[in-house]
Amino acid sequence: MILSLLLLAGAVCAQDFTDFHVERVAKGLHFAEGPVWSYDGFLIFSDTVVDKLRKLTPEQGDTEFASRSGGASGNAYDAEGRLYTCEFRQRRVTRLAKSGRIEVLAAQYQGKRLNAPNDIVVRRDGHVYFTDPAFGSQQDSRELDFYGVYHITPRGELELVAKWTTRPNGITISPNGRALYVSDSDKRSIRAYDLDNKGVATNERVVVENIPGVPGGIRTDVNGNVYVAAKYVYAYALAANGAAKLLGTVMTGETPSNLAFGDPDMETLYITARTSVYRTRLNVKGALPY
């Protein structure tokens, strides 16, 4: 199915936000989330309701990759090709080693279970960041009295980046690895933090406000523009003075949940949206945080 894509602004750098098409490449899912492109040439994403990780390849299409009884949500790869997954049912963050062994990286903070880890990103130097909100029935079993944004150091130490009273959702890193972006589902905004060489996050601020819908997954391109899945997919340019400019809107047939750049040239945007996965070709490369 081909859907029209209308991006309503002009150009930034070499980008031209006009005349694109969106194609549905997977369907019949229960709730698609957490897409990430592998260096091995395929897309991994979660079908959260049925606890599955799925794999999308040009040759075989959509197939099952793994079963995760812990409830897979957000996914990310590191520079070594290891897969990180937020497991919202087991309330933990895991890593799949090349050997196939699953390692638990985070499950508690100060002796209390995490709420429901949702989305995750890994910087090139091995620093990991993830969000820990709670939606729906997840609220009933909370042990922590806040919603968290967390940092796992390369040595495996869990650190709290921020305590929120609203719910963090999507998370990503700028192309140079110096800024962390987190979507706020309740405030309909995106917050940013500065990251230093040790992975420490400081200087919290709001960089995008009044996003239509409920902001979920976010990604950046090599020009530093931010893409967020909400009512539709919105692309924003972030100016040095802190102002955000809406570059355009990607419309799919279903409400999007998350997104990821992929394909060998990293110029295809894959969008998970409820029961389907969509893709659209862009003339800009996605930023690789790892």
* CA atoms in the 13 A half-sphere facing the CB of 146: 12
Give per-residue pLDDT as tens, 81-105: 999 999 999 999 999 988 889 999 9
What are the start-end ranges of the H helices in 70-172? none
pLDDT confidence of residue 15: 58
Which of 2-11, 40-49, 61-70, 238-247 is the least confident region?
A: 2-11
* Beta strand ranges found along 123-241 (DSSP E): 128-132, 147-152, 158-164, 168-173, 179-184, 189-195, 201-208, 218-220, 226-229, 233-238
pLDDT confidence of residue 241: 73
Q: Which among 37, 130, 123 is positioned nearest to 88, based on CA atoms?
A: 130
Q: What is the CA radius of gyration of the chain?
A: 17
Distance CA 232, CA 148 (A): 25
Once rounded to an integer, what is the mean pLDDT over residues 153-157? 97
Once rounded to an integer, what is the mean pLDDT over residues 35-48? 95
- At residue 9, does pLDDT exceed 70? no
Q: How confident is the model at residue 3 (pLDDT cuts 50, 70, 90)?
A: very low
Strand partners of residue 87: 72, 92
pLDDT confidence of residue 136: 81
Q: Which value, to the nearest 10 degrees, does the dihedral of the CA atoms of residues 63, 65, 71, 72 take? A: -100
Average pLDDT value over all residues in the chain: 91
pLDDT confidence of residue 283: 86
Distance (Å) of CA 92 to CA 74, 99, 143, 244: 11, 20, 13, 33
Once rounded to an integer, what is the mean pLDDT over residues 116-133? 97
pLDDT confidence of residue 69: 82
Domain annotation for the chain: domains and CATH numbers:
2-281 (2.120.10.30)
